[in-house]
Amino acid sequence: MSAIGLLGTGSYLPKEEITNEEIARRVPDITAEWIGRRTLIHGRRYAAPHEATSDLARNAGAAALEAAGITADQLDYLIVATSTADAPLPPTSSLVQNALGAHRAACFDINIACAGFVYALDIAHGLAAQRPGSHVLVIGADLYSRFLDYTDRGTAVLLGDAAGAAVVGEVPDGYGILGTELGGHGDAHELIWIEGGGSRTPASHATVDGGGHYLRMKGRGVADFVMANVPPMIEPLLECCGVTVDDIDHFVPHQANGVLLGELVERCGLTGARTHTPLVKYGNMGAASVPVALDEAVRDGLVSDGELLLLAGFGAGMAAGLCLLRWSA
């Protein structure tokens, strides 16, 4: 079986920069200093009124295709990981496929929130492995600024809009995706939710008036979930791949909260790796967090040939996913 890895990465950040000072003007009883101290986030990007999730995804996908040196009509599959689809139907991936001109590609969405990009990489790995010479475009994209309640400081201060992408295909032996570890915990589904707009609680005047279309989160419970469930996943993954935690050169986590990530690095024993945290500038980008962080590191020349990267996604569901890969330049 051929080695499967990443042939190119890309990302897209909307132009509008939202500072902590601006958030503090919108959210009652907080200050910019409070936001920075509690989250280490100092900015985030919001999509323009004419932009939807598919627009962000299209731009990130185009950048990844350019980096990989292939065209959209060479794609065999296109996967969009998002929990903020343009609409219930059609799939956002169909809109992205059409916008890119990837008319050969089978396309579909997955919704596992902030773990989505890592889950999609695992799916892409399997698809590419079973079809030699194929290419898979994987995109993580979310536009949470349309789902924020500015009376809820637990969510409004964290989230921004973005998309990140990677082209998956054959790489030289010894490189690429070495292994993944995925975990679902539906018993904790009540920690992050959007109540209204689905089949159980369809959109109505009542759901809108009651704020049912806003994102809700139990922050302390989410932090406890991450600390309890992500660190134990690392050892079996590394053991399966024949490496140790000291071999990891880069840690690329979901950009949930800077304070939380600092604690997670310590708990996982990853202090020897370089942790990438563009959340300082962009906030929590949902499913885009991991690919945006990865693309920024690659484009800044921080990742070298042969280095080991551990990608980690975690979020609503609840779900967590790890992907270990050896970078091929």
Residues identified as active-site: 114, 254, 284
DSSP for residue 199: S
Closest CA to 124 of 6, 230, 9: 6
Q: How many CB atoms lie within 10 A of CB 103?
A: 11
Closest CA to 305 of 2, 18, 6: 6
Distance, CA of 101 to CA of 123 (rounded, Å): 22
Strand-pairing partners, residue 180, are 323
- How would you label 143-161 residue by residue, b for 16+ Cβ within 10 Å and e otherwise? bbbebbeeeebbbbbbbbb
Cα–Cα separations (whole angstroms), residue 113 to 56, 118, 184, 197, 305: 16, 10, 12, 16, 30
Strand-pairing partners, residue 49, are none
Residue 257 falls in which region: left (phi positive, over 0), alpha (psi -120 to 50) or beta: beta
Q: Are 308 and 325 in contact (CB under 8 A)?
A: yes
